[in-house]
Amino acid sequence: MSPSSDTPRPGRLSRRTALTLLGTSLAAVPLLSAVPSPAAEVSRRGRGLDDPAKKEIAMKLVSSAENSSLDWKAQYKYIEDIGDGRGYTAGIIGFCSGTGDMLDLVELYKDRKPGNVLAPYLLALRRVNGSDSHEGLDPHFSGDWRTAARDQVFQQAQNDERDRVYFNPAVEQGKADGLRALGQFAYYDAFVMHGDGSDATSFRNIRRRALRQAQPPAEGGDEKEYLDAFLDARVWAMKQEEAHSDTSRVDTAQRVFLRAGNFDLEPPLDWKVYGDSYHID
């Protein structure tokens, strides 16, 4: 924690002491105006996506795309192989047995509740990481996942891993770029689907692709112009993979809010994903 402004750092003179030694009146020396950070400017203009009400909206928006439902809390028990090469996809954010985030989640659950119903699968999850294999998981893993999903300890572990790996980094980067809630959500949704690895379709490279076309508000750019560029880059990334080639979660959802100038994601919100209509009051 930084020291307060009234407490001089060790080894340095306080401002008042220094001015006294110089024979200068404190009142005669103006204080420099602090330049607000991009994150502070975002906070001034509206609530960020980490505001509880905005976060609830974000969870519903993602659930409409991932699970065709606004009831995101019903997805703790969700599990299936959707044939995208990532093995099992499960839980509130689509943790995958082939990408490591499911392994991290189950390890966290074991740390918090040793001997839980999923702990025996840790060795198998380590072995299948990086592949679409079910070896060592079938035939009971899906059922045991649904059993674990009734445990509040496991539910909280899902919440915490979602925030640590996806939500918090997306919101932090969005604020650093001077984006309001809509832009932060666009980042979060990209994190959820693409992760933040080194491949061309990862979040960081989607963002880099957008930066070649426009500058974010933190660098003096226009927010709408930048978000248009980011969503263009996102659509490009989705189309590189057959399983994600339906871009309606961008075209008939995020772009709808952007065209309306709803940068703060203020309800009521109406959008479509895969042709299904959704509404938040």
Is residue 84 flagged as an active site residue? yes
Return the number of other C-beta atoms located less than 10 Å from residue 204's C-beta.
16
User: Smallest Cα–Cα separation from 106: which of 126, 130, 122?
Assistant: 122
Structure tokens at 224: 């709408």
Distance separating alpha carbons of residues 115 and 118, to the nearest angstrom: 8
* Class of residue 186 by CB neighbours under 10 A (exposed 0-12, middle 13-18, buried 19+): buried
Q: Which of 50, 51, 56, 66 is catalytic?
A: 66
* Class of residue 94 by CB neighbours under 10 A (exposed 0-12, middle 13-18, buried 19+): buried
Is residue 264 flagged as an active site residue? no
Place of tokens 């057959």: 242
List CB contacts of 204: < 8 A, sequence separation 6 or more.
Answer: 196, 198
Q: Output helix, strand, coil percentages for the chain, rounded to the nearest 5.
A: 55, 5, 40
Q: Which of 41, 51, 84, 104 is catalytic?
A: 84
Distance separating alpha carbons of residues 81 and 234, to the nearest angstrom: 24
**Catalytic (active-site) positions:** 66, 84
